[in-house]
Structure 1
């Protein structure tokens, strides 16, 4: 009797380069079949050939532009149709920067389509399928800029604040379902992301720049440790805990039946 070996299968967006490529390579190395999503079919096919031969896994390519509704729906349909996809890496995203008074609204809209709407749609499709299966893992990638205010970064920073909040709500809804949801918060990572955004890695002090390899290893290790929030370079997780505690104190005071004393005449 021949036994069929069922391997875990991960779908990775933005898989053709940078963080997405490193995730795909690590997952292939640890025995995951892959569904690789990016715009360029030639790059995806080259990776499929490389990973398939090196790690003896099945690699499917799904060329799709997540900046379009058609591209997003193609990937969402793929997630919804296959219970074997038990991991989603929502990695696709980019930065379109500019001061608010000078915003290029076409560029802003295109970025929000990928960073916000595509991530939300794919998270929804994966969550529904995984809850029904009683298992699965979703990793959503935010950014350290969600905690910072910088001129020219309002649009991108806000898009990653959305990822932060959306994913934390997902984590509450995933409790007790068998689905794990990780929020990954990178700092500056040594990929071509910055060149695409019109910046240069050389503008950052070397001690602030992490390799994509280290980032991905930390994320996957955090899954093993059951850490739902992974901020790879944060020395003490208690700093995140303090952030959440401060947030809870503010939340407790935002809806009351009277204004705070400082707003009364005379203080």
Structure 2
């Protein structure tokens, strides 16, 4: 039987990341678990080793810190066993745009976009050289909805979607699969950390259901997986409309409606 790739998962101590770890352990993959909370990582790693007889390494890292990002990048570049990256670490927005501090904005953008991009960039050249592998980026449906009033968070998740689509265009022909997963409200600790009571939300998906659905999309090699979207044709229509809009952009001249003052 072919050796299964090891999987590196960020934000692996709880929530979506921890369930991804459980599911890939069930599939027989060795794991590298990355998060800030080493005690939780150690507890999870011990259980997964005992229950599934796999190798589990723990890598404590705060991905808002340059040195910690660099350490994870080095592991992704140098460890040839790692064939799958689950870019899950992220944080939510607390408060509206005018109530956010410059430091909180920098931290949010840094974790949700810069760290995610750097880790993808660290592993991608090696996957391309191998001609196989996968990068899974966890986005959010909020990236499609500026109406939700989570401007900075939504912008970071729109970035994740665009980056994933762009990387798919660049890397799929080289054997590397890139998946964007767009959850809606999911029962994880991200809400509590943002000062939001998840129980006040009208509809919340359980994290196990979210990850199991995302893995169905992974196995089908979907480019964009939206577990809470019940009419798949909606996404197809949106993407077709976007491409139709692009076909109407003729950049040599301004559109007629802009050529005369009203």
How far apart, in 2, do the equivalents of 1:233 and 1:121 lie? 28
Q: Which residue of 1 aligns with 2:130?
A: 133
Deviations 1:28-57 (A, max 9, x none): 011010000001211111111010000000
Deviations 1:97-153 (A, max 9, x none): 333333311001011111011000000111111111111111001001011124651
CA contact (8 A) 2:49 2:56 kept: yes
How far apart, in 2, do the equivalents of 1:152 and 1:243 lie? 21
1:71 to 53, 68, 71: 68
List aligned pairs for 1:97-108, cutoff 5 A. Answer: 97-108=94-105
How far apart, in 2, do the equivalents of 1:86 and 1:20 lie? 17
How far residue 5 of structure 1 moved from its aligned partner, in angstroms, is 7.4
Q: Which residue of 2 aligns with 1:156?
A: 153
How far apart, in 1, do the equivalents of 2:167 and 2:148 lie? 30
Q: Which residue of 2 aligns with 1:228?
A: 223
SS at match of 1:35: strand
1:263 to 242, 258, 261: 258
2:110 to 105, 113, 118: 113
| Unpaired runs of at least 5, structure 2 | none
CA contact (8 A) 1:35 1:60 kept: yes
1:166 to 160, 163, 166: 163
How far residue 193 of structure 1 moved from its aligned partner, in angstroms, is 1.1
How far apart, in 2, do the equivalents of 1:226 and 1:151 lie? 29
Instruction: State the number of aligned residues.
Output: 262
1:213 to 202, 208, 212: 208
CA contact (8 A) 2:185 2:204 kept: yes
CA contact (8 A) 1:36 1:61 kept: yes
The yes-or-no answer on 1:13 pairing with 2:10 is yes
The yes-or-no answer on 1:90 pairing with 2:81 is no
How far apart, in 2, do the equivalents of 1:5 and 1:182 lie? 23
1:238 to 217, 221, 233: 233
Q: Which residue of 1 aligns with 2:187?
A: 190
How far apart, in 1, do the equivalents of 2:178 and 2:136 lie? 6
How far residue 220 of structure 1 moved from its aligned partner, in angstroms, is 1.1
How far residue 9 of structure 1 moved from its aligned partner, in angstroms, is 0.7
Q: Name the TM-score, length of structure 2 as normaliser.
A: 0.95
How far apart, in 1, do the equivalents of 2:99 and 2:194 lie? 16
SS at match of 1:198: coil
CA contact (8 A) 1:97 1:154 kept: no
How far apart, in 2, do the equivalents of 1:238 and 1:51 lie? 38
Q: Name the TM-score, length of structure 1 as normaliser.
A: 0.93
How far apart, in 1, do the equivalents of 2:250 and 2:15 lie? 43
2:245 to 218, 226, 250: 250
2:173 to 165, 176, 187: 176
The 1:122–1:256 alpha-carbon spacing in structure 2 relative to 1, beyond 3 Å, is same
